[in-house]
A and B are shown apart, each in its own frame.
Chain A
Amino acid sequence: MSEQISRLDAGTSEKTVFSVEDLTVTVGTRRGPARAVAGVSWQVRAGETFALVGESGSGKSMTLLAATGLAPRAATVTGRVRLLDSELTALPDDRRRKLRGRHVGFVFQDPMTSLNPVLPVGRQVTEAAEEHLGLTRRAARDRAVELLELVGIPSAAQRVDAFPHQFSGGMRQRVVIAMALACEPDLLIADEPTTALDVTTQAQIVELVADLQQRLGTAVVWVTHDLGVVAGIADTVAVMYGGRIVEQGPVDAVFDTPTHPYTRALLAARPDPARRGEDLVAIPGAPPSPLDLPPGCAFWPRCPVRADPRCEHELPPLTPVGPGHTVRTFYPGETS
């Protein structure tokens, strides 16, 4: 029996590719320090998709930029970040840069601005491979065509020398994905990759990444505020609010038994075809400013529950509520 369990374990728990532990990011601004991310921890294993969910300004993107050494200069980053067998936070900039380029691929939000307008796309797709894998210019060109074909760009051999403005938004995002895959990364970070695209294109891009992940076994971190995408592709999900993770766990658990009032409000705010014609559900109020975070739970000012008086002044602890499912709350048992 125990042997069976351990074998099962070995089958499901692949190697951890990337882990973030107690990551905190403080950004110096003209109006004082802004705490963009506070004590965030998560990890993602090979072949697994981890989704980071939250509204704009909740610290999702900053978490990833800071973890990979791309945070703005004004940001102070503390905590521990591991990529494969290296502790990124302990490395000098130059080593971190090389590891990032070699093992991490990035897909950013807006394909209209994330490509250099004056360089041919093929060159942009493979310059990381030239840098980190030592590909020659000729080999790189062949590789660029191969990658563009992989992401479904028609007549890639001709398009390889075209410039970004000669592609549509969806095609550009495919180019960006090809670029992210150039060094066959162990980790793919997709920072709201579908937000700037129209709906039909969104679905294509989501499918493309899911398909590539299956074929290449890459770990994927998907930042989004689209809960539909999360339900469709993620294995685990973390919900961020005010720079903290408020709920984290396997995607089924979080969607079936959302426990934190914010998670519940977020799920309730999804448009529902069954309630056509009714007003859309919204969360009243606005997210807190990172310059002026409430002392207790960041969601308290907008919280419709407020079941515990401590929430206002005291930070609720991350409390386990199910297997791998944790919630930042004082009242885990009172899920309705």
Chain B
Amino acid sequence: MTRFVLRRVLQSAIVLLGVTLVVFLLLQLVPGDPVRVALGTRFDPQTYEALRSRAGLDQPLPVQYASYLGHALTGDLGVSFRTGQPVSWIVAERLPATLSLAVTAVVFALLVAFPLGIVAAVRSGSAVDHAARVFSQFGVSVPDFWMGIMGIILFAGVLGWLPPSGYVALTEDPGRWASHVALPAVTVGLVTASILTRFIRSSVLEVLSADYVRTAEAKGLRNRVVILRHVLRNALIPVVTVVAVQLASLLGGVIVIEVLFAWPGIGRLTFDAVQARDYPVLQGAVLLVAALFLLVNLLVDILYARLDPRITVK
């Protein structure tokens, strides 16, 4: 198991290295000169050159990359062109907001999708099944920002139960954090729940027709035992992947939702960095998202090996 984990960590590190290279090169293709943007109306050729050489932008590309990588390894992701603050600090500051939104959204989605998907499959063709189908169709076809706006109008405007936007850190005030996270999390979570419901339904349905489920029924086990012990565990294996992909993509920040709810997360940060051509911040944000993505996948692989004994861990 340890060797398996180590090997997967090493693989992830190599992928991450590739990500840094791609991000670094891609940014070279983006038109627009960050130093010019930073100087704005105060442009003069001497300051321009001085700033360029201070940022290392006059060096050849491989040197720039090597220097970037060397610093990144020590946790130094450079400073923002715009504010002069260290990138690692900026990114770290935004992480809790995105993390708490993503995790809350996924937990909400799981709480909805699991019971709904399982019941829809076990009682396929029933009213619950049809309701689940309508729900998931609704969730995947209605744009999330529209649902978000409707949520704000209803719960913040008409009913006045929840704040329309803004963020309070969980560590600062859990109660106010919860009231602020509820609307964006449910908005994002509904989409995830719709996707998951469909997936869980079809996965459970497939397992229900498996021979070993008939074997379990032949043994005269209670229905609940058949579903929990024999169906769910097998149906869960493919679902884990989908949950992980959903979680990973939410960890990358949900740009529209974060903008809509004034949620100071990674998505919002990325959006602002692109607009300002703040390369170091953008690189830092993308690097962080990639790292989170790899981490989630690593955890999923380990979870997989635990769920499915057929995956040999050597």
- Chain A residues packing against B (C-beta within 8 Å): 68, 70, 97-102, 104, 106, 108, 110, 113-119, 124, 127-128, 131-132, 163, 165, 176, 179
Contact = CB atoms under 8 A, between A and B. Distances in A.
Interface stretch (B99-107, B164-172, B210-218, B288-296): B210-218
Contacts of A117: 212, 234, 308-310
A235 B210 CA distance: 33
Nearest to B215: A114
A118 B214 contact: no
Nearest to B310: A165
Residue of A101, A115, A116, A176 with most partner-chain B CB within 10 A = A116
B220 interface: yes
Interface in B281-314: 307-310
B220 A97 contact: yes
Contacts of A102: 220
A124 B225 CA distance: 12
A179 B214 CA distance: 13
Interface string B186-225: 0000000000000000000000001110111111111001
A101 B216 CA distance: 9
A162 B76 CA distance: 49
B240 to A, nearest CB: 13
Contact of B218 (A100, A113, A118, A131): A100
Nearest to B212: A116
Contact of B309 (A97, A113, A165): A165
B71 interface: no
A118 B234 contact: yes
Contact of A110 (B211, B219, B234): B211
Given A101-B221, A119-B229, A131-B225, A163 B215 contact: no
Contact of A132 (B218, B220, B233, B310): B220
Contacts of B230: 116, 119
A118 B233 contact: yes
Contact of A118 (B211, B219, B307): B307
Nearest to B233: A118
A97 B307 CA distance: 29
A68 B221 contact: no
A99 B221 CA distance: 11
A182 to B, nearest CB: 8
A118 B308 contact: yes
A165 B210 CA distance: 16
A70 B218 contact: yes
A44 B262 CA distance: 75
5 A-B pairs closest in CB distance: A101-B220, A113-B211, A128-B219, A106-B218, A163-B309
A256 to B, nearest CB: 35
A176 B212 CA distance: 10
A131 B309 contact: no
Nearest to B230: A116
A269 B307 CA distance: 48
Given A113-B212, A117-B309, A68 B234 contact: no
Given A118-B237, A118-B310, A127-B219, 18 more contacts: A97-B222, A98-B220, A99-B220, A100-B218, A102-B220, A108-B215, A114-B212, A115-B215, A116-B215, A116-B234, A119-B230, A119-B233, A124-B215, A128-B219, A131-B222, A131-B225, A163-B309, A179-B219
Given A118-B233, A165-B309, A106 B215 contact: yes
Contacts of B211: 108, 110, 113-114
Nearest to B218: A106
Nearest to B221: A131
A124 B218 CA distance: 12
A70 B225 contact: no
Given A70-B218, A100-B218, A131-B225, A163 B212 contact: no
A116 B220 contact: no
Nearest to B213: A116
Nearest to A182: B219
A40 B307 CA distance: 44
A115 B310 CA distance: 13
A30 B214 CA distance: 23
Contacts of B220: 97-102, 128, 131-132
A182 B227 CA distance: 21
Contacts of A119: 229-230, 233
